[in-house]
Amino acid sequence: MSLPFDSVAILGAGLMGRLMAVTLARSGCKVDVFEAGSADAEGAAARVAAAMLAPLAESAVAPVSVVRMGQHALSRWPELLAPLVQPVFFQREGTLVLWHRQDAAEATRLARVLANTGAQVPELAPMKSVDARAIATLEPSLGQRFAQGLFLPGEGQLDNRALLASLLATLEASPRVTLHWQSPRAPSDFTGAAGQPDWVIDCRGLGARPQWNALRGVRGEVIRVHAPEVSLQRPTRLVHPRYPLYIAPKPGKLFVIGATEIESDDMSPASVRSTLELLSAAYAVHSGFAEARIVEIATQCRPTLPDNLPALRLPQPRVLQINGLYRHGFMIAPAMLDAALEVLTQGHSPLAKSFGMQTQDT
């Protein structure tokens, strides 16, 4: 890709910032990354996320535009991961959705919503109803515990922390990239004068709130456990009356159990209630979680706009803001990246339009 500019400053080294930086540096651009925190991404939603890539499953809470972006990502992630200097766990073994008898009514409603999404987005692999025997074939360690479920073939997941680490190592290896840690910045710190970067790309997530007032945080609590006795091949979702619960397997017998969804930007530690709910749900899916070891209980807030949709915004010439990735950051990041590249190179994004994504020249 040839770029009509030479240099950029990227604000924020979470998910979008790192992805933009790697892509632009590979295209020959000089890149300066400014991050408020450290290389560990301790302030990024991306560090806490389960990183499931589940467009059909997420259509329970997301519109068709986000589903289309998620479908785009499933084929784009392998292309984006291939040139990175370290391997990143990525798989497309599908999603299994299960429920207990008392949640059958909610499961019926969910199945209707997913069927409706399938009709609107025919490129999605069709979901399948599965009985106890089919569930045991997909996930032998669950045995005959669940009478019914849904299987969503082709959905994916990746290892968020391995991705952040690999993007970082790739940036560190690039002679065109300078990384500035503990360096909070705002777009106004760059005046556009001679010697300044040609573009400022603002990927600060919730850190952009002072300039983008509509952003809000949506609190999520997740628990990481080490469970040598549990074997799950794919993310398993449990229908739950309050929020969709999931168990996402990661390499090394680690499992991410999440996530609460609370309308609050409170970043204080996880509540007892949330912790009990998440751990009970996991134990109800697989009794092997009883002897699991809790590695981490984490809280973060998802950067969210009023309509819960992502947006690209050009608040002033040569400043591009990418934000509002909400609970779908990993699932839609490749679509946001490709649309942002179109805006930077062509001044507008046909891809964003095809997804129904917001781009604003405000």
Ligand X SMILES: Cc1cc2nc3c(=O)[nH]c(=O)nc-3n(C[C@H](O)[C@H](O)[C@H](O)COP(=O)(O)OP(=O)(O)OC[C@H]3O[C@@H](n4cnc5c(N)ncnc54)[C@H](O)[C@@H]3O)c2cc1C
| Cβ-based neighbours of 272, under 8 Å, separated by 6 or more | none
The kind and range of the H/E element at 180 are: strand 177-180
Is residue 223 close enough to count as binding ligand X by CB under 6 A? no
Which residue lies nearer to ligand X by CB, 108 or 274?
274
Residues 4-33 that bind ligand X (CB under 6 A): 11-17
- Shortest Cβ distance from residue 11 to ligand X (Å)? 5
- Shortest Cβ distance from residue 38 to ligand X (Å)? 9
- Shortest Cβ distance from residue 355 to ligand X (Å)? 15
CA atoms of 300 and 218, how far apart (whole Å): 8
Residues 243-262 that bind ligand X (CB under 6 A): 258-259
Is residue 167 close enough to count as binding ligand X by CB under 6 A? no
Is residue 49 close enough to count as binding ligand X by CB under 6 A? yes
Residues 259-278 that bind ligand X (CB under 6 A): 259
Helices 160-172 and 15-26 cross at an angle (nearest 10°) of: 40
> Which value, in Å, is the radius of gyration of the alpha carbons in the chain?
20
Is residue 44 close enough to count as binding ligand X by CB under 6 A? yes
- Shortest Cβ distance from residue 207 to ligand X (Å)? 2
Site string for ligand X, 273-312 (x = CB under 6 A): ---------------------------x-xx---------
CA atoms of 34 and 303, how far apart (whole Å): 19
Is residue 204 close enough to count as binding ligand X by CB under 6 A? yes
- Look at the block and give the residue holding tokens 């940036």: 171
Instruction: Give residue 270's identity as a one-letter amino acid code.
Output: A
Is residue 43 close enough to count as binding ligand X by CB under 6 A? yes
- Look at the block and give the residue holding tokens 């690999």: 166
Query: Counting beta carbons within 10 angstroms of the beta carbon of residue 103, is it exposed (0 to 12), middle (13 to 18) or buried (19 or more)?
Result: middle
Q: How many residues does the chain have?
A: 362
- Among 8, 24, 41, 142, which residue interacts with ligand X (rule: CB under 6 A)? 41
| Cβ-based neighbours of 328, under 8 Å, separated by 6 or more | 58, 62, 66, 69, 70, 310
Hey, what are 60's tokens?
A: 């329970």
Which residue lies nearer to ligand X by CB, 28 or 269?
269
Residues that bind ligand X (CB under 6 A): 11-17, 34-37, 41, 43-46, 48-52, 184-185, 203-205, 207, 220, 222, 258-259, 300, 302-303, 323, 325-331
